[in-house]
Structure 1
Amino acid sequence: PFYASDGWAESAVTISVPLGKPRPSGQQDFPPAAKFAVPGLRYRSIVDIVQRVIRTDPNVHDFHLHPFRQYVKGQGGRPPSRVVDDIYSSDAMMEEYEALQRSPREPGCKFERIIFALQFWSDATQLANFGSAKLWPIYMYFGNQPKWARSRSDMHACHDIAYIPSLPSTFQDFVVDQRGFPADPKLETHCRRELFHGVWKLLLDKKFIRAYKHGILIEFPDRIIRRVYLRIITYSADYPEKVIIATIRNLGICLCPRCLIVWHQIRKLGLKADTKLRIMKRRTDAGGLRSLVVKARSFIYERRQGVASTSVDAILRAESLVPTISAFSSALGEFGFDFFLMLCIDILHEFELGVWKALLQHLIRMLHAVGENKVVELDRRY
Structure 2
Amino acid sequence: MDATHGSTNIWAPFRSGLEWKLALWAKTRGPSSTALSELLEIDDIPRRLDLSFKNAKELNTIIDKHLPKRPKFQLRKVTIGNETFELYMRDIIPCIRSLFGDPELSKHLFLAPERHYSDANRTMRIYCEMNTGKWWWSAQAAVEASLPGATIIPLIFSSDKTQLTVFGNKTAYPVYVTIGNIPKDIRSKPSRRAQILVAYLPTSKLDTITSKAARRRTLANLFHECVHQIVAPLETAGVAGVAMARGDGVWHRCHPLYATFVGDYPEQVLVASTISGDCPKCTVPHAALGDSTDYPLRDLASVLDVFELEDGHPTVFHAACKGARLKPTFHPFWEGLPFTNIYLSITPDILHQMFQGVVKHLVTWLIETFGEAEIDARCRCMPPNHNARLFTKGISSLTRVTGTEHKDMCRILLALVVDLPLPNGASSKVVRAVRALLDFVYLAQYPAHTPTTLDQLDAALQSFHDNKDVFIDLGVRSDFNLPKIHAMRHYRPSIELFGTTDNYNTEQTERLHIDFAKVAYRAGNRRDHVPQMTSWLERREAVRDHASFINWRLAGHPSPSTFSATPPPLHMHMKLTAHPSATASFDSLTNDYGAVDFANCLADFVILHNFPDLSRAARTAKANELRIPLRKVPVYHVLKFHNYDALQRHDASDTLDAIHVRPKTSDSRGRPVPARFDTALLDASNRDPLGVEGKRIIQVRVIFTIPDHAIAQLFSPSRPPPLTHLAYVEYFTPFTSPNIDDKTYHITRSIRNGRRVAAIVPAGEIRRSVQLYPRFGTAVPRHWTSSNVLDECTYFRVSPFLDKHTYMTVY
* TM-score after normalising by structure 1: 0.76
Question: CA separation of 1:312/1:113 partners in 2, compared to 1, >3 Å: closer, same or farther?
Answer: closer
Question: CA separation of 1:55/1:264 partners in 2, compared to 1, >3 Å: closer, same or farther?
Answer: closer
Equivalent position of 2:334 in the other structure: 329
Which residue of 78, 81, 84 maps to 1:37? 84
Equivalent position of 1:108 in the other structure: none
Equivalent position of 1:258 in the other structure: 281
Equivalent position of 1:291 in the other structure: 305
Equivalent position of 2:245 in the other structure: 219
Q: How does 1:2-41 map to 2 (within 5 A)?
A: 5-6=69-70, 7-15=72-80, 17=81, 35-39=82-86, 41=87
Matched residue SS, 2:252? strand
Post-superposition CA distance 1:282-316 (Å, at most 9, x none): 21221x3233334366443xxxx6xxxxx765432
Matched residue SS, 1:352? helix
With a CA cutoff of 8 Å and minimum separation of 6, indicate the structure with the bigger relative contact order. 1
Identity of aligned residues (%): 22
Matched residue SS, 1:329? coil
Q: Is the 8 A contact 1:121 1:235 kept in 2?
A: yes
| Distance in 1 separating the partners of 2:152 and 2:375 | 58
| Distance in 2 separating the partners of 1:266 and 1:50 | 38
Q: Is the 8 A contact 1:136 1:163 kept in 2?
A: yes
| Distance in 1 separating the partners of 2:146 and 2:253 | 13
Deviation of residue 198 (structure 1)?
0.9
Which residue of 57, 61, 85 maps to 2:107? 61
Equivalent position of 2:218 in the other structure: 191
Matched residue SS, 1:328? coil
Question: CA separation of 1:364/1:57 partners in 2, compared to 1, >3 Å: closer, same or farther?
Answer: farther
Letter in 2 for 1:184: S
Q: Is the 8 A contact 2:259 2:340 kept in 1?
A: no
Post-superposition CA distance 1:124-182 (Å, at most 9, x none): 1122342111111111121111111111222111111011112266x62xxxxxxxxx5
Question: CA separation of 1:296/1:113 partners in 2, compared to 1, >3 Å: closer, same or farther?
Answer: closer
Q: Is the 8 A contact 2:244 2:253 kept in 1?
A: yes
- Count, aligned residues: 320
Which residue of 113, 119, 140 maps to 2:156? 119
Letter in 1 for 2:143: L
| Distance in 2 separating the partners of 1:216 and 1:191 | 34
Question: CA separation of 1:79/1:43 partners in 2, compared to 1, >3 Å: closer, same or farther?
Answer: closer
Q: Is the 8 A contact 2:92 2:198 kept in 1?
A: yes
Residues 1:93 and 2:108 are matched in the alignment: no
| Distance in 1 separating the partners of 2:155 and 2:102 | 18
Post-superposition CA distance 1:5-29 (Å, at most 9, x none): 54211122122x3xxxxxxxxxxxx
Question: CA separation of 1:86/1:296 partners in 2, compared to 1, >3 Å: closer, same or farther?
Answer: same
Which residue of 61, 78, 81 maps to 2:124? 81
Equivalent position of 2:373 in the other structure: 369
Question: CA separation of 1:99/1:377 partners in 2, compared to 1, >3 Å: closer, same or farther?
Answer: same
Deviation of residue 80 (structure 1)?
2.8
Equivalent position of 2:469 in the other structure: none
Which is worse superposed, 355-364 or 133-142? 355-364
Which is worse superposed, 121-130 or 189-198? 121-130
Matched residue SS, 2:357? helix
Question: CA separation of 1:338/1:328 partners in 2, compared to 1, >3 Å: closer, same or farther?
Answer: farther
Which residue of 350, 357, 361 maps to 1:358? 361
Equivalent position of 2:269 in the other structure: 243
| Distance in 1 separating the partners of 2:204 and 2:350 | 30
Name stretches of at least 5 consecutive residues in structure 1 with no aligned partner: 18-34, 106-111, 173-181, 306-310
Question: CA separation of 1:115/1:190 partners in 2, compared to 1, >3 Å: closer, same or farther?
Answer: same
Equivalent position of 1:31 in the other structure: none
Deviation of residue 241 (structure 1)?
1.1
Deviation of residue 122 (structure 1)?
0.8
Letter in 2 for 1:346: D
Q: Is the 8 A contact 2:153 2:179 kept in 1?
A: yes
Q: Is the 8 A contact 1:65 1:115 kept in 2?
A: yes
| Distance in 2 separating the partners of 1:183 and 1:118 | 37
- Could you say what the CA RMSD is over the residues aligned between the two structures, in angstroms? 2.7
Equivalent position of 1:148 in the other structure: 185
Question: CA separation of 1:121/1:380 partners in 2, compared to 1, >3 Å: closer, same or farther?
Answer: same
| Distance in 2 separating the partners of 1:82 and 1:239 | 30
| Distance in 2 separating the partners of 1:355 and 1:168 | 30
Post-superposition CA distance 1:25-76 (Å, at most 9, x none): xxxxxxxxxx42112x1111110111222334411220111110100116xx
Letter in 2 for 1:283: R
Residues 1:135 and 2:140 are matched in the alignment: no
Q: Is the 8 A contact 2:367 2:375 kept in 1?
A: no
| Distance in 2 separating the partners of 1:325 and 1:184 | 18
Question: CA separation of 1:244/1:355 partners in 2, compared to 1, >3 Å: closer, same or farther?
Answer: same
Matched residue SS, 1:65? coil
| Distance in 2 separating the partners of 1:83 and 1:357 | 31
| Distance in 2 separating the partners of 1:320 and 1:378 | 48
Equivalent position of 1:315 in the other structure: 320
Letter in 2 for 1:201: H
| Distance in 1 separating the partners of 2:383 and 2:217 | 46
Q: Is the 8 A contact 2:220 2:329 kept in 1?
A: yes
Which is worse superposed, 183-192 or 260-269? 260-269
Post-superposition CA distance 1:174-204 (Å, at most 9, x none): xxxxxxxx53111111110011001111112
| Distance in 2 separating the partners of 1:96 and 1:341 | 13
| Distance in 2 separating the partners of 1:158 and 1:356 | 29
Which is worse superposed, 191-200 or 348-357? 348-357
Question: CA separation of 1:89/1:372 partners in 2, compared to 1, >3 Å: closer, same or farther?
Answer: closer
Name stretches of at least 5 consecutive residues in structure 2 with no aligned partner: 1-26, 28-59, 389-811
Equivalent position of 2:662 in the other structure: none
Q: How does 1:194-205 map to 2 (within 5 A)?
A: 194-205=221-232
Q: Is the 8 A contact 1:38 1:168 kept in 2?
A: no
Question: CA separation of 1:99/1:361 partners in 2, compared to 1, >3 Å: closer, same or farther?
Answer: same
Letter in 1 for 2:117: Y
Question: CA separation of 1:368/1:116 partners in 2, compared to 1, >3 Å: closer, same or farther?
Answer: same
* TM-score after normalising by structure 2: 0.37
Q: Is the 8 A contact 1:296 1:315 kept in 2?
A: no
Q: Is the 8 A contact 1:211 1:230 kept in 2?
A: yes
| Distance in 2 separating the partners of 1:297 and 1:210 | 24
Equivalent position of 1:20 in the other structure: none
